[in-house]
Amino acid sequence: MSSLTLEFQSVHDRFRPRVLRYLTRLVGEAEAEDLTQSVMLKVSEGLRDFRGDSSLSTWIYRIATNAALDKLRGKTVQVLSDTELESDEETVPPAAQSASVETTAIREEMNACIREFIERLSETHKTVMVLSELEGFKNAEIAAILGISLDTVKIRLHRAREKLRKELGTGCHFYRDESDELACDRKPTAAIEFRRRR
């Protein structure tokens, strides 16, 4: 086998499970497997020309994100108004500059209940939340993956967390589990409403 084949095999073994998990969170389990195959094929084809301008993980996640967004936009075209497009370029609000209480809580316990509420977020907000809170990327890495400015990442994360905090406040009951970690259960009325939306 050529060195490139061996290199791709190593990249494939390392990143395929991560890409599959990431795509499952963005597009759902039914679509994720085929999309992962497509992404890994693109990685294989592009590996020879990868120049290392960004980290390998950033490059692979950029390919995966573009594939997921193309798939999602194929299902439902989400048109942003001029106001929404311009608002992403506004000054970063002070609350977005540093980790907030809700950010810390989200990082500490991202359980199934919270993940389901993330699913309700818009495509734009869900993508940055998954990259930040579930995949563990730093803001600068998210900016590189999505091809947007660092300030825009901060704004989107701030807005996504605000929306999520409000949803969680009305839809979840928070408590400390037996390990003294933050956990939540969906309130009965929220569970019914969630099933209706699905």
The count of domains in the chain is 2
Instruction: Tell me the backbone φ, ψ of residue 100, rounded to 5 degrees.
Output: -100, 175
Same domain, 116 and 185: yes
Whether the per-residue pLDDT at 192 is higher than 50: the answer is no
In this prediction the pTM is 0.68
| Vertex 159: Cα angle to 53 and 76 (nearest 5) | 80
Q: What local confidence, expressed as pLDDT, does residue 87 receive?
A: 47
Rounded to whole angstroms, the Cα distance separating 131 from 180 reads 26
Same domain, 122 and 38: no
Same domain, 122 and 169: yes
Looking at per-residue pLDDT, the higher value among 141 and 54 belongs to: 141
Residue 10: both structure tokens together: 């190593």
Same domain, 67 and 98: no
Same domain, 120 and 189: yes
Same domain, 36 and 89: no
> CATH no. for residue 60?
1.10.1740.10
Instruction: Tell me the backbone φ, ψ of residue 10, rounded to 5 degrees.
Output: -65, -45
Same domain, 91 and 185: yes
**Contact indicator for 103, 161 with CB cutoff of 8 Å:** yes
Q: What is the mean pLDDT of the chain?
A: 77
Q: What local confidence, expressed as pLDDT, does residue 172 receive?
A: 76
Q: What local confidence, expressed as pLDDT, does residue 2 receive?
A: 54
Whether the per-residue pLDDT at 147 is higher than 50: the answer is yes
The residues pairing with 183 across neighbouring beta strands, listed in sequence order, are 175
Residue 95: both structure tokens together: 């609350």
Same domain, 30 and 98: no
Rounded to whole angstroms, the Cα distance separating 82 from 126 reads 20
In this predicted model, what pLDDT tens digit does every residue of 46-95 receive, in sequence order? 988 888 778 899 999 999 999 999 988 875 434 343 344 344 445 555 54
- E-assigned strand segments in the chain: 172-176, 182-186
Rounded to whole angstroms, the Cα distance separating 114 from 105 reads 11
Q: What local confidence, expressed as pLDDT, does residue 170 receive?
A: 81
Residue 186: both structure tokens together: 């969906």
Whether the per-residue pLDDT at 168 is higher than 60: the answer is yes
Which structural domain range is residue 49 located in? Answer: 3-75
| Final residue belonging to a domain, choices 75, 102, 125 | 75
Residue 182: both structure tokens together: 């933050």
Whether the per-residue pLDDT at 131 is higher than 90: the answer is yes
In this predicted model, what pLDDT tens digit does every residue of 83-128 receive, in sequence order? 443 444 455 555 454 555 555 554 444 456 777 778 888 889 999 9
Rounded to whole angstroms, the Cα distance separating 73 from 9 reads 31
